[in-house]
Structures are given as C-alpha cells and as structure tokens.
Chains A and B, each alone.
Chain A
Amino acid sequence: GAGVSQSPSNKVTEKGKDVELRCDPISGHTALYWYRQSLGQGLEFLIYFQGNSAPDKSGLPSDRFSAERTGGSVSTLTIQRTQQEDSAVYLCASSPRGSGGNNEQFFGPGTRLTVL
C-alpha cells in the first residue's frame, strides 16, 4: 500500500519568503507528526496531531511555524518569513495509534528546505 508522501521533495526559497510543506499520511492513520532533521543532527519534534484533539505544538521553534491538518488527513506545515537556520529536512510521520497497537511511526521521505 501507499506510504506517507510529502511534497515538494526539495524546496529552495529566499530568506523572508513563506513556504508550505505538504504531508499525505497513510490512509486510516489517526496520528500525524512533523519532525525536523538538520544536517548531522537527530530528528527534532515539531508538532503532533491526534484525531480531533488539540495538536501538541510544544516543539514548534517559533511563532513563524504553524501547521494544520484538514479533515483528519492531509497536513500542511507553514514557515513564515523563512530564515537560513530553517534550512533542514522536514519529515512527516503517521501512526495508526490503535488501542492495541504500538507506537510505530511511518515516515515519509521528507522535504529538503534550503533558505538562501
């Protein structure tokens, strides 16, 4: 079956511009996560959506970052007024999070963002 997909795969933008990154989770997965992976670093949690609950935004690094999830499926991560330090690979993951299931998060291939 189809895995998590993300678009675009690469995005180059100029400092100060806004960008939108898209994530299509695995069908039926109720949980969706965004992480950021900077060069040579581990993955840093950004935001987590679970069903209709209020999202966990505790990882967003500044108010320039926001995300939404429409209809419990597709999610968009928006970065306003991009800065060079925002350059990273942005990874999306989804999880079924069933009551008897585990916490396996299935990751997409990521969007590589470069801010010039």
Chain B
Amino acid sequence: QQQVKQSPQSLIVQKGGIPIINCAYENTAFDYFPWYQQFPGKGPALLIAIRPDVSEKKEGRFTISFNKSAKQFSLHIMDSQPGDSATYFCAASAGRGNKLTFGTGTQLKVEL
C-alpha cells in the first residue's frame, strides 16, 4: 500500500519557470513532511520540511504549501535554474525521528 502518492513522475521547465510537484498522503498520523533532493550517484539531501500546524513554509526559492484537510502538500521552486535539475522526493513520518515513507520521486529538468 503506497501511503504517499507523488506526481508528476517527470517535469521539464524553462529556466526561470516555477515547477510544482504534488504529494498526497493517506495516514492521518503523519505529522512531518520533508522534501528531499537527489542528484545522480548521491544520497538524498533534505531541502525543506513542514509540520501540519502551518499552511506554507518558504526557504529561499523553495516553498512548501500544505493542505491538511485535503491531505496534500506541494513543492514550488521559484526562478528555477539548471542546477535544480534533480530528482525530488516528498516524504512523511508519524512522530519525530520515525521512519520516512517516501513518494516515488519526480525527475525535474530545467532547460536554458
């Protein structure tokens, strides 16, 4: 049973565009929602994370929007750059320090 559904599977945008990646979850016990960025041959690295008591969090060019009632959250990348080309994973966990349940990933390509 896939508890975190992520879309789209792949995404191509032009430099300066705003790619949006969406995730939906089923488990209402989830209370921590991070986004990870992964470059080829590397392990995932934490990009930004949110807890359900806020609806939006912004760090630099990255913004998470969170809709608790719909059980959905999304990542927006402002002014995207070719260096942002990577695979992005959403994830969720129930309780601090607990195992993460990951989405299937979105391969983003930012073209010049």
Contacts and interface: CB of A to CB of B under 8 A. Distances in A.
Interface stretch (B11-19, B60-68, B77-85, B100-108): B100-108
A91 B43 contact: yes
Contact of B43 (A31, A50, A110): A110
Interface string A17-28: 000000000000
Contacts of A91: 43-44
A97 B97 contact: yes
Interface of B: 4, 6, 32, 34, 36, 41-46, 49, 89, 91, 93, 96-105
B42 A31 contact: no
B43 A108 contact: yes
Contacts of B93: 103
A109 B102 contact: no
Q: Which of A31, A35, A42, A48 has the most CB of B within 10 A?
A: A42
Contacts of B46: 104-106
Interface of A: 4, 31, 33, 35, 40-45, 48, 50, 56, 58-59, 91, 93, 95, 97, 101-110
Contacts of B99: 33, 45, 48, 56, 58-59
B56 to A, nearest CB: 18
A45 B43 contact: no
A59 B41 CA distance: 24
Nearest to B42: A109
Given A42-B104, A42-B105, A110-B43, 11 more contacts: A33-B100, A41-B104, A43-B44, A43-B91, A56-B99, A58-B99, A102-B96, A107-B44, A108-B43, A109-B41, A109-B42
